[in-house]
Amino acid sequence: SAVISQKPSRDICQRGTSLTIQCQVDSQVTMMFWYRQQPGQSLTLIATANQGSEATYESGFVIDKFPISRPNLTFSTLTVSNMSPEDSSIYLCSVGQNYGYTFGSGTRLTVV
Part of the chain binding other proteins (CB under 8 A), chosen from 18-26, 65-73, 79-87, 100-108: 100-108
Pick the binder of other proteins from 42, 52, 85, 86 (CB under 8 A): 42
Residues forming beta bridges with residue 7, ordered by sequence position: 22
Q: Is 103 one of the binding residues for other proteins (CB under 8 A)?
A: yes
* Residues of span 43-72 touching other proteins by CB under 8 A: 43-45, 48
Instruction: Tell me how crowded residue 47 is: count the other CB atoms within 10 A of its CB.
Output: 21
**Interstrand relation of 19-25 and 75-80 (parallel, antiparallel or unpaired):** antiparallel
Pick the binder of other proteins from 94, 95, 109, 111 (CB under 8 A): 94
